[in-house]
Amino acid sequence: MYNDKTLVCKDCGQQFTFTASEQEFFAEKGFTNEPQRCKACRDSKKSRSRENNGSRQMYDAVCAQCGKSCKVPFEPKNDRPVYCSDCFKR
């Protein structure tokens, strides 16, 4: 059903193989996008993320539903609403 595909890593530019078994795994999990990075770059990104754990930059925002000030882990854009954790849970 699936055939191996050759993809290009968006970080290092090297080709890597997206195997048939990996494609089947992605499909079983409901993932619709193909991987963007080779295994070495994925591992490197994960280790950098773990090193920075707890030092994530937070941004000030105002909840679009209740108007309360809050902090979010992404830079708010004017074209999309931002919700505090309480309103987001609802």
Per-residue pLDDT tens over the stretch 3-52: 999 999 999 999 999 999 999 999 999 999 999 999 999 999 888 776 66
Residues 65-77: tens digit of each pLDDT = 999 999 988 899 8
Give 53's pLDDT tier (boundaries 50, 70, 90). Answer: low
Give me the residues paired with residue 15 across strands. Answer: 8
Spatial distance between the Cα atoms of 58 and 21, rounded to a whole number of angstroms? 38
Q: What is the pTM of this model?
A: 0.54
Residues 6+ away with beta carbon under 8 Å from 27: 2
With 0-12 / 13-18 / 19 or more C-beta atoms within 10 angstroms meaning exposed / middle / buried, residue 75 is: exposed
